[in-house]
């Protein structure tokens, strides 16, 4: 079981989430961005991550890690920020390992 304190997004992750939300306000996102991704980014700023989001993020980062190399303010950069940026990738991967071995 993942301790509650580890479920809260670290400051560096929150900074990327906030940057992604700012980018969305400026309409920099691509057409494929799901509204649920935006809502979950807002939620994670002040709330603990769910097991479902951990699994989704693990899978998303495995498919989209290349988004970290895209130019700032590109649609891929917006998406990466809404998933916590590189700090989020590391955080979600670590959480997934905890989740995967839960009793």
Domain count, the chain: 1
Report the C-alpha gap between 2 and 36 in whole angstroms: 24
The predicted structure's pLDDT at residue 1: 81
Model confidence over 43-63: pLDDT tens digits?
999 999 999 999 999 999 999
The predicted structure's pLDDT at residue 58: 98
- Full domain range(s) for residue 11: 4-100
The predicted structure's pLDDT at residue 96: 97
Global pTM? 0.95
Number of alpha carbons in the 13 Å side-chain half-sphere of residue 54? 20
Weakly modelled stretches of the chain, pLDDT under 50: none
């Amino acid at each position: 079981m993942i301790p509650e304190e580890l479920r809260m997004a670290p400051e560096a992750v929150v900074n990327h989430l906030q940057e992604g939300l700012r980018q969305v306000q400026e309409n920099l996102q691509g057409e494929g961005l799901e509204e649920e991704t935006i809502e979950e980014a807002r939620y994670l700023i002040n709330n603990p991550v769910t097991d479902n989001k951990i699994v989704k993020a693990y899978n998303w980062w495995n498919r989209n890690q290349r988004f970290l190399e895209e130019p700032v303010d590109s649609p891929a950069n917006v998406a990466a920020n809404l998933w916590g940026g590189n700090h989020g990738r590391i955080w979600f991967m670590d959480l997934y390992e905890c989740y995967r071995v839960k009793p």
